[in-house]
Structure 1
Amino acid sequence: MYRWIVFLHIVSAFAFFMAHGASAVMAFRLQQEKDPERIRTILDLSSAAVPVAYFALMILVLAGIIAGVMGNWFSQGWIWVSLGLLIVLWFGMVMYAGRYYSPVRKAAGLPYHDREGEHPAGPSASSEEIIKLAQASNPRLLLGLSFGLVAVIIWLMMFKPF
């Protein structure tokens, strides 16, 4: 049964990265886009992928915890560090997305989420404002940090160094 849980953990990680890939591509494409209507379309595509990514992430975490209990891994440090890094990565992504992409969604007249909660679509800002906000993010920094943390988590899971 343990192998099936680990298999589910790996498959859900694959599903997460596939779904989250739409948001990653969006981050790079958004910076280059100059047409507000295409910016809206790119943001909508990313939003459509988020529920799938979150569902896969939930399965990934649950399967990882179950495998950790079944394999008696919680007595070792690597699994705690992995969970900690995953939490840091998740909060960092949420903070980054909220800081950069919510204002773009709001300016584009799309539903958005901020610290106060969910907001419905409203009136659009000017094309210049939408484009300015769309170009304000730094997806390379986000990619580098997230890739590095995911690589460390995978290393910890494979080599179990402590």
Structure 2
Amino acid sequence: MAAKLSGGGGGKYAIQQNSEINVTPFVDIMLVLLIIFMVAAPLATVSVEVKLPSATVPPQTSPPKPFYISIQNNGRTYIGDGEVDIDSVGSELLSLIGNKTPSDERIFIRADQTTRYGDFMQVMNSLQDSGFYSVALVGEDQSNK
């Protein structure tokens, strides 16, 4: 004997379809997991008291503030917010860092995408002539668009 599971006909063995979700097993599992975590959580705490020694670490010095050089498409060059001559970028940076070593400073270059390559190379050459070798190029992050 076989039962007819779907289709028409209202015969003796017709079974109606059940489209409701039975959540009782899900609730049972959640309650069991809740009890397990409630019992296990106090066991995870440390009950042995230990007096730890104090740490005497010298305070960390913050990294040096980076310098931003901006080159516009018309050739105007800026260090931070102040405009400088494109030929004197390196010497201006030397005067800004004072008695620090140029190779320890971080320089970031921001240039307009239509900036002439010659202007960019002029800034790079001026930086290298002054001893600034740690130079990074800044671009726009396209991953968030």
TM-score by length of 1: 0.22
| Higher helix residue share | 1
Radius of gyration: which is bigger?
2
Normalising by structure 2, we get a TM-score of 0.23
Higher relative contact order (CA 8 A, sep 6+): 1
